Amino acid sequence: MFSTVISGALLGIDSTLIRVETDISSGLPGLDMVGYLGSEVREAGKRVRVAMRNCGFQIPVSRITVSFAPADLPKRGVVADLPVAIGILICMQVLHQSDLEDILVAGELGLDGEVRSIRGILPLVRQAKQEGIHTCIIPAENLNEGAVIQGIRVVGVQTLSQAVAYLSTPPAGRDRLLPPGHVDLEALFRKGQEEITVDFSDIHGQETAKRVLEIAAAGFHNTLLSGPPGSGKSMLARRMPGILPPLTQEESMEVTSIYSVAGRLPPGRALITERPFLAPHHTITRQALVGGGTIPQPGIISLAHRSVLFLDELPEFGREIIDLLRQPLEDHQVTISRSSGSVTYPSRFLLLAAMNNCPCGFYPDLTRCTCSPGKIRKYLGRISGPILDRIDLCTEVPEIDPMLMIAPAEAESSRQIRERVSRAIGIQKERFRDTSFLFNADMDARAVEQFCPLDSEESAFILKVFEKYRFSVRTYHHILKTARTIADLDESPEIRIPHLAEAVRYRTAERGFLREPGKTEGHIYGRPQY
């Protein structure tokens, strides 16, 4: 007897359908599994045997062969317990092949027959819909996640017996036995847009830093904050998601798919509708940051996709760890290669970093700084020039005036700032309507030439700046993209000199706090002194 059950396998944050083919025939008793399998798939045979027995299904003493097709696709990280059990039951004539027509089955089995949750349900159901599947049978714990995909019936089962009962029921009565899942996407997004847990109104003063973060949010620009301990750098950073534009439905699907594949989606959570805030400790490993493992999993930089990656005390991460961000910051994706193939995860994140000016934090205030010039050089030398070239905005966060704490003035709320940011984002959406870009920071060199034209006066101004500071071409493009965002916040169709001047000021700010000790100005990374 032969059977075929449709299931799925993950490829990065995408999925592909696989066929679980089962045959029971006479011969030496045993259960063989073939089809370029990983160890976690081979282990399914033992779980399936015990789970079926504990659910009252006695496997015949026969030769059982299970094949996973296509055979040339590596089946790593695939959990196919439930499809294998259903395939065996069809061969045992407990179920009929016609019961599984255009139905996808996925799930892990416990030894007692419980159907346990698995990773990657969202991309799996999305691929099933694209392939014309009309029903997906998945673990009940994953029901809300799968039901996010509209236009396909998604059913959650808790046990193997429940799955068999559902498939044994005539199609007309199945929805009464196990109603398909339903998620109100509009309500989810509305709730996500209303939630602001920490607010900018809690911070008094630091208007320049707030302005920089507003520009960063409006154009998705990478930003570096520097200042002494206690000046509020971390407080400012943690309020960044509250002024970012809400996730679009497409962005939300991308982010949720990554969290689903990584197994980081909170239990019962259907969709991630607000931008996450990732703040790893400086002891993070290379693998945890960029992803990896025997079965490649997304790292922090992929979990921060379309969101904020905050690196507090940036130099403490070490130069090697920081330099790992160079390629993802440029290409907005990370590729993990293994002998069995390569997996690519998206990593378009907003890098927000904070640092002190020296190990003690008080340089250049020599009345309080206890660091030697050698210590300061070594500390600042952990940040490479190429990384700084990929940061659009730099600003110093000074100590807070005590008077602002004693008699605080009313500060703008995150919602007020978000309104301005949202208007600027609306302008960008219209500008990039026929392109793949979402934000000004996404533009490549050709797009900068197209969308950031300068008049003669502005061209002369930026040429003088370019000659004075000897900027790289990459930095020149970053300045134009930042100026474009500042103009969008002003709702100006053209980039004017004030917009360029403000962008240049934030771009050259690192020359003020990343300078060699004992010199009034200059950069420690080999650039000329002025």
Considering the domain boundaries, does residue 135 fall inside one?
yes
In whole angstroms, give the CA distance from residue 513 to residue 186: 46
**Are residues 136 and 223 both part of a single domain?**
no
Rounded average pLDDT over 139-145 = 94
Rounded average pLDDT over 248-254 = 89
Confidence at residue 525, expressed as pLDDT on a 0 to 100 scale? 33
**Are residues 272 and 402 both part of a single domain?**
yes
pLDDT digits (tens, 9 = 90+) for 223-243: 999 988 888 899 999 999 999
pLDDT at 524 over 50: no
- Which structural domain, as residue segments, surrounds residue 95? 2-177
pLDDT at 517 over 80: no
Confidence at residue 464, expressed as pLDDT on a 0 to 100 scale? 92
- Cα angle 287, 292, 295 (rounded to 5 degrees) comes to 145
pLDDT at 184 over 80: yes
pLDDT at 118 over 90: yes
Tokens standing for 146?
């799968």
**Are residues 259 and 116 both part of a single domain?**
no
- Cα angle 9, 73, 131 (rounded to 5 degrees) comes to 50
Rounded average pLDDT over 106-110 = 95
**Are residues 144 and 243 both part of a single domain?**
no
DSSP state string for 400-436: PPHHHHHSPPP---HHHHHHHHHHHHHHHHHHTTTSS
**Are residues 411 and 467 both part of a single domain?**
yes
Number of domains in the chain: 2
Which CATH number fits the domain that encloses residue 435?
Answer: 3.40.50.300
- The mean pLDDT value of the chain amounts to 88
**Are residues 155 and 265 both part of a single domain?**
no
Q: How many residues does the chain have?
A: 530
Which CATH number fits the domain that encloses residue 134?
Answer: 3.30.230.10
- Torsion of Cα atoms, 20 then 23 then 29 then 33, to 10°: -30
Confidence at residue 333, expressed as pLDDT on a 0 to 100 scale? 92
Cis check: omega of the bond before 402, within 30 degrees of 0 = no
In whole angstroms, give the CA distance from residue 498 to residue 483: 9
Share of the chain above pLDDT 90, in %: 61
Q: Say if CB 273 and CB 307 are below 8 A apart.
A: no
**Are residues 172 and 298 both part of a single domain?**
no
Considering the domain boundaries, does residue 530 fall inside one?
no
**Are residues 33 and 142 both part of a single domain?**
yes
**Are residues 112 and 213 both part of a single domain?**
no
**What are the angstrom distances between the C-alpha of 151 and each of 126, 147, 181, 440?**
10, 9, 11, 34
pTM, whole model, 2 decimals?
0.88
pLDDT at 216 over 90: yes
**Are residues 234 and 173 both part of a single domain?**
no
Confidence at 77, pLDDT banded by 50, 70, 90:
low
Q: Which of 119-133, 312-326, 501-515 has the lowest mean pLDDT?
A: 501-515
Considering the domain boundaries, does residue 464 fall inside one?
yes
Euclidean distance between the first and the last CA atom of the chain, given in angstroms as a whole number: 83
pLDDT digits (tens, 9 = 90+) for 268-298: 788 898 889 999 999 999 999 999 887 788 9
**Are residues 357 and 237 both part of a single domain?**
yes
For the chain, what is the radius of gyration of the CA atoms?
Answer: 28
